[in-house]
Structure 1
Amino acid sequence: MSPLPPAPCWPRRDADHLLVSGAQMAALEQQLFASGLPVEALMEKAALAVAERVRTGSAWRRQARRSGVLVLVGPGHNGGDGLVVARELHLAGWPVRIWCPWPRIKPLTEAHRRHAAWLGIPALEGEPNPADGALWIDALFGVGQTRRLDPALELLLAHRQQQQPGQLVAIDVPSGLCSDSGRCLGDVAAVAHTTYCIGLRKQGLVQDAALPYVGRLRRIDLGLAPTLLESLPPNQLLGIGGARAAADLAALPWPQIDPTAAKYGRGRLLVVAGSQSFRGAAILALSGASASGAGSLRAALPEAVAEQLWLVQPYTVLQASLGSTAQAGLALGGLDAGALERLDAVLLGPGLGAAAATAEAPLWQAEQKFWDHLQAFKGLLVLDADGLNRLAAPSGGQAEALAIQWLRGRGGPTWITPHRGEFNRLFPDLQDLPPLEAARQA
C-alpha cells in the first residue's frame, strides 16, 4: 500500500505568509544585488508599487489631492523610496512637497533628491507644521532601526498624531519602531494609517506591541524568486491575517467528513468550562464549540449553569454538573476516566477559576486523578485560559517543571493557547525573551 501524501502546509510557505527579521530581508536583498539586479532597479520597483497604492487609496485620495502630500525623507534608501513616490505623485498632478532635514544622505537617495528638485518639487527649509492638512508619507528610516528617534523628531511625530490622526502612511516600517520586536525604540514612533511593507512582512509588525503604530499592514510584492524564498530556514515563521485573512481561513485543511456519517461520525467534543465565579465563560465556550460543526457536543459545567443549560443550548448533552472549590473554582475531581471515553476532542479551561487547595484534600486528590486521565487521553486536547493556569501551578506547591513533563507525556495531540501571562507561568525560564523567540524555544 502506498504511503499517504504529506499533509499540506498551512498557511502556505510563500511571500504572502513568510515573516522575516530585518537582517533576513537585508540578506535576501543582498542576494538579489549579487545576482546582478541593480539597487536602483529594486528601489524603483518597490517605490512605484507604493506610489500606485497611495494614488489609488480611496481612504485619503480626495483629501491628498486637495491638501497635498508631504514626504518625510530619511538619509538612507528608505528616503530614496520616498523620493520616488514623491516623483510619481507629482507627475500624476498631485501637489507634493519634500522635507529632508539631513545634510548628508546616501548617494542614490541624493540622486533622487536632485531629480526631484529639477522637476520643481518644493522642499521645505524648516520643520513642517504638524497641523498641516496634507497626507504625510513616512520615508525616514524603514527596516533595521535600532536607535530611538531624535527628540525633536519624536516631538514632531507626537504632535502630528495629536493634531492630524490618521493622516500618515509609512513605507516599510513606521519610524521609531523596531521591525523585529515591534516595540517603540523611544518614547514616540510614527503612527500610521497604513504601513506598506516591502517584499516580505517584517516579524515585528504583526506583534501586539506594534499594533498601535502599524495601522493597516499591506505587503508590497517584489516578485521574489522561489529560489530566494527557499534559502530561508525550513522552520521560518509563517503568519496569517491582514488583507488575506479570509482567503487563509478558507484554505484551512478541514477534515473530510463522510457525507453519510451520523452525528457521532462528525466529531465528538467535550467542553469543560465555567465556574461559580465565571458562569458566562461556559456559555461562550459552548457557543463557539457549537459553531465548529461538531456532531456531538457534551459539557461539564458548574452546577449553576448546568441547571439552565437545556434552556439556552438544548442540543448540548450535560456530561457532568460539577461543584466548586473553596475559591469558587470548578471542582474537576467530579470527572473520571469514563467522561473521556468515545471522544475526539476536549476543550478545557475557559473560566475554571482557582483550583482546590491542599487543605481540601479530597478535592485536590480527585483533581490530580482527573489530570492523570487527561494525560492518557488519545484525542485532541485544547488547553485554554484557567486550564493552563491550573496546569502551570498544580496544587500542593509542585514546581512549574511538572507542567512541562505533563505536556511531554500527553497521549494525544495538544493545542495550548496562552496569552503572555499564562505563557510565563508555563515557561518561567523563557519569560524575558521576545514573544516570537520565546514561542520558538517553548
Structure 2
Amino acid sequence: MASSCWPPRDAEHLLVSGQQMAGLEQVLFEHGLPVEALMEKAALAISRRLQDPDLWPELQARGVLVLVGPGHNGGDGLVIARELHLAGIPVRLWSPFERRKPLTENHLRHALWLGIPQLTSPPDPSDPALWIDALFGIGQSRPPGDALESLLTQRQRHQPQRLIAIDAPTGLCADRGLPLGQTAATAGRTLSIGLIKQGLIQDSALAWTGALERIDLGLPAALLEQLPAQQPLGLGPSDLDGAPWPRPAAAASKYQRGRLLVVAGSDAYRGAALLALLGASASGLGSLRAAVPVAVADQLWSQLPHAVLSARLPSRGDGSLDLSALAPSVLERLDALVIGPGIGNTADDAAIWETLQAFPGLLVLDADGLNRLAQRAALPWLRGRSGPSWLTPHPGEFQRLFPDLTGLPPLEACAAAAQQSGCSV
C-alpha cells in the first residue's frame, strides 16, 4: 500500500459487502481463531461503546431489551445482554425463534441462568427501554416477515429511533441499502462490526441506519490486503484535514492559485448561479470567473464583487441558458470549468459541445450540464475529451447518462461508469 494513498486503505475507510466481511471472518477461523473468540471480541467492543457517557445514563434509567435472532448476530446480542446485566443495567430478552445456532443457544442458556428475564410474547412497541436489534445483522437475504415488520413499524411510531442496530437494521440489505420487504427497523444508531458495509452509506439507507459507527475488531493488516485493489473507500469529516490539497508557493499570484470559470444559472433558475459561485469562492481558488444569464450578470458586481464577469449569456424562450453564445475565447487560460447548475435542459448546438470537448483543463459537469450531455452520444464524447472530466450525477441523471448500468448496486455502477467514460464520477 502506497503511503501517499488518500484516504488510507485501512479498516477505518474500507467499504465491504456482507459476503466479503463473512469471507474475511472465515479466513480468521481457518487460521485458528475460534468463532467464539470473535463473537466475544465484537460483542465486548459494543458493550464498551454502550458504556460511553452519551448512552450509559439512558441505559441505566430505562433499561434494555435485546431482540435475539437465530444466528450469530443473536449471539452477539446475548453477549451484550450478559455484559450489560453484569454491569447493573436492567436487561430483558426477546427471541421469536424456536431454533438457534448452537453457539447462540449456549449464550441464551447462560443468560437465562444469570437471571436475565426472557419475554414469552412480542414486546410492547411503546416500551420505554432502549431496544438492541440483534435479529439478523448482515446475513439478511429475505424480508423479516409481516409480524416483525409490523412490530418495527409500531416501535418507530411510538418510540422514534430508540433502537440500536447491531451490524445492520433488521430488514435492510447491507449491500444495497434497500429494505428487503416493505420496511426495516429504524435505528437511532447502527454499529457496524469490523468494517463499514457498503449498503449502509447509500442514500436509500440513511432513513434506517441513523448515526453509523464502526466497531473496531483490530483486523490484521495482512487480512485487509486480501481485498481487491479497487475496493471502495469511504470518507469521514476528519479525512478532509489530511486531503492532498494543492499547496501553491507563498509568492504565487492569484492566477497561479487556480483559475475557474462557472457557467451556471438561467432565467428560470437564477439562484443556481449565485450558489455555484459562492461554493467556488469557498474553495480557495485565486481567480473566479462567471458566465451567467443577463439577469444575474447585471447584479453580480453587488453580490460577488470578486467574481469577474466573463460572459453575459442570453436565455431561450423556455428560460434555459443559451450556451451557443459562449465564445471559445472565454475558455482560454483556465484551469477548470464548471458547467450545469440551473442552466436548464434544452438541447444545444453541436458546436459548443465540440468546444467543450477540446477544453484542455478540468471540466466539471453537474445538473443540467449532465442532462444536456445525455441528449448526445455521451460516452464517445466523454472518451474524446482533451482534459480530465468530473461527473456529479444524482440517480436520475446517472440513468440518463448510463442506462445500461442503472440496475447495478450504486458503488458498482459508479465504478463501471468511470471505467467506461474515462471520467471521475
Report the TM-score, using the length of structure 2 for normalisation.
0.96
Give distance in 2, aligned partners of 1:352 and 1:233: 40
Q: CA deviation at 1:10?
A: 2.1
Q: 1:51 aligns with which of 23, 33, 47?
A: 47
Alignment check: 8 A CA contact 1:130 1:160 kept = yes
Partner of 2:283: 292
Shift of 1:7: 8.9
Please give the secondary structure, in 1, of the residue aligned with 2:309: strand
> Which residue of structure 1 aligns with residue 80 of structure 2?
85
Q: Does 1:432 pair with 2:407?
A: yes
Per-residue CA shift, 1:259-316, capped at 9, x if unaligned? Answer: 1011111110100000010000000000001111111110000000001111101111
Give 2:37's match in structure 1, choosing from 27, 41, 45: 41
**AA matched with 1:37:** L
2:179 is the alignment partner of 1:184: yes
C-alpha distance in structure 1 between counterparts of 2:23 and 2:208, whole Å: 26
Aligned length: 416
Q: Let me know the Cα RMSD of the aligned residues.
A: 1.2
Give the Cα separation in 1 of the matches to 2:42 and 2:407: 36
TM-score (norm 1): 0.92
Given residue 13 of structure 1, which amino acid in structure 2 is its aligned partner?
A: R
Q: Distance in 2 between matches of 1:331 and 1:422?
A: 20
Which residue is 2:381 aligned to? 406
The aligned runs of 1:66-77 (5 Å cut-off) are 66-77=61-72
Please state if 1:135 is matched with 2:117: no
Q: CA deviation at 1:326?
A: 2.5
Provide the residue aligned with 1:399 in structure 2: none
Partner amino acid, structure 2, of 1:414: S
Alignment match of 2:322 (pick from 302, 326, 331): 331
> Contact 1:383–1:416 at 8 Å: present in 2 too?
yes
Query: C-alpha deviations, 1:300-344, integer Å up to 9, x for none?
Result: 000000011111011111000010122211111111221111110
- Tell me which residue corresponds to 2:103: 108
Q: Distance in 1 between matches of 2:76 and 2:53?
A: 18
Deviation at 1:440, TM superposition (A): 2.0
Out of 209, 227, 231, the position equivalent to 1:232 is 227
Residues 173-228 of structure 1: CA deviation (Å, up to 9, x unaligned) = 10111111011011121110000000111011011111110000000011111111
- Counterpart for residue 151 of structure 1: 146
Deviation digits for residues 149-174 of structure 1, max 9, x if unmatched?
Answer: 12111111111110011210010010
Residue 278 of structure 1 aligns with an amino acid whose one-letter code is: Y
Secondary structure of 1:271's aligned partner: strand
* Counterpart residue number, 2:361: 379
Aligned counterpart for 1:248 among listed residues 236, 239, 244: 239
Give the superposition deviation at 1:434: 2.5
2:340 to 349, 354, 368: 349
Q: Distance in 2 between matches of 1:281 and 1:238?
A: 31
Separation in structure 1 between the aligned mates of residue 50 and residue 224 of structure 2, nearest angstrom: 27
Q: Report how far residue 237 of structure 1 moved.
A: 1.0
More displaced stretch, 104-113 vs 369-378? 369-378
Unaligned regions of 5+ residues in structure 1, if any? Answer: 1-5, 357-363, 395-401
| Residue equivalent to 2:22 | 26
Specify every segment of 5 or more residues in structure 2 that has no aligned partner in the other structure, as ranges. 418-425
* 2:13 aligned with 1:17: yes
Q: What is the alpha-carbon distance in structure 2 between the residues aligned to residue 117 and residue 144 of structure 1?
A: 26
Alignment partner of 1:283 out of 266, 274, 277: 274
Which of 94, 99, 123 aligns to 1:99? It is: 94
Structure 1 residue 57, shift from structure 2 partner: 4.8
Name the SS of the counterpart of 1:307 in structure 2.
Answer: helix
Structure 1 letter corresponding to 2:355: H
Query: What residue in structure 2 maps to residue 415 of structure 1?
Result: 390
* 1:325 and 1:354 in contact (8 A); partners too: no
3-state SS, counterpart of residue 217 of structure 2:
coil
In the alignment, the residues of structure 1 paired with residue 68 and residue 134 of structure 2 have an alpha-carbon distance, to the nearest angstrom, of 5
Q: Which residue of structure 1 aligns with residue 156 of structure 2?
A: 161
Partner of 2:168: 173
Matches of 1:62 and 1:9, distance apart in 2:
41
Deviations 1:116-163 (A, max 9, x none): 111111111111111110010000000121110121111111111100
Q: What are the superposed Cα offsets for residues 21-76 of structure 1, whole Å, 9 maximum, x if unpaired?
A: 11100000000000100111100000001111112151x43232122100000010
Secondary structure in structure 2 of the residue aligned to 1:143: helix
Supply the AA of the counterpart residue of 2:131. Answer: W
Secondary structure of 2:252's partner?
coil
8 Å contact kept, 1:328–1:354: no
Residue 307 of structure 2 is aligned to residue 316 of structure 1? yes
Q: 1:411 to 1:267 in 2, by over 3 A?
A: same
Q: Is the 8 A contact 1:8 1:253 kept in 2?
A: no
For the residues of structure 2 that align with 1:345 and 1:164, how far apart are their CA atoms?
49
Greater mean alpha carbon deviation, residues 123-132 or residues 77-86: 123-132
| Cα deviation, residue 8, structure 1 | 2.7
- Asked if residue 202 in structure 1 is aligned to residue 193 in structure 2, the reply is no
* Partner Cα distance (1:372, 1:10) in 2: 34
Question: CA offsets, 1:354-410, max 9 Å, x none?
Answer: 325xxxxxxx54xx222211111111111100000111114xxxxxxx111111011
SS of residue in 1 equivalent to 2:51: helix
Amino acid at match of 2:135: L
Counterparts of 1:177 and 1:354, CA distance in 2: 36
Q: Secondary structure at the match of 1:289?
A: helix
